[in-house]
Amino acid sequence: MTEISMTVNGRAARASVPDNTLLVDFLREHLRLTGTHVGCDTSQCGACVVHVNGRAVKSCTMLAASAEGAEVTTIEGLANGELHPMQAAFKENHGLQCGFCTPGMIMSATDMVARYRAAGKELTEEAIRHELEGNICRCTGYHNIVRAIQDGAAKMAAS
């Protein structure tokens, strides 16, 4: 067992977990933050994407112990009383069908918006499609996901 402590969605989280606990399992099973999904469990699908110290990572491919002291943000941490602009954009643009991939899509989307803004680069439609390489939607809904991210990026810039 390993003692771990980190900040999850602004709150301190502390636990004693088996050393082989994955970050996604710590979030889901220990903290009951089940918005982060396990899709493929093989680092391909991106349903488990969360932010660790402000960067998108696949939480199924990181040990909870490696996140010691980190700031973790999950899909539950985005909304602040009302939907985050990116969440609202997914809703308005029909950026989801079954919704399973959506938390990971939104966490990847807010990450790419932040990175492109920091680098002073334009987040074009082509760039969004490239940036989504690590997120898989099996309802075949990419067109609306891309539109949602374009809209969400504009909303984030305005807010």
Q: Give the Cα separation of 142 and 128 in Å (integer).
A: 10
For 7, 39, 49, 79, the CA distances from 89, given in Å and listed in that order, are: 27, 23, 19, 13
Residue among 114, 100, 97 nearest 48 (CA): 100
Between residue 106 and residue 135, which ones bind another protein under the rule CB under 8 A?
108, 111-112, 115, 119, 131, 133-135
Site string for another protein, 48-77 (x = CB under 8 A): -x--x--xxxx--xxx-xx-x---------
Q: Does 42 bind another protein (CB under 8 A)?
A: yes
Q: Does 37 bind another protein (CB under 8 A)?
A: no
Q: Does 29 bind another protein (CB under 8 A)?
A: no
Q: Does 7 bind another protein (CB under 8 A)?
A: no
Q: Give the Cα separation of 59 and 44 in Å (integer).
A: 12
22 and 63 in contact (C-beta within 8 Å)? Answer: yes
Q: Give the Cα separation of 80 and 131 in Å (integer).
A: 26
Q: Does 16 bind another protein (CB under 8 A)?
A: no
Site for another protein, rule CB under 8 A: 2, 18-20, 22, 41-44, 46, 49, 52, 55-58, 61-63, 65-66, 68, 108, 111-112, 115, 119, 131, 133-135
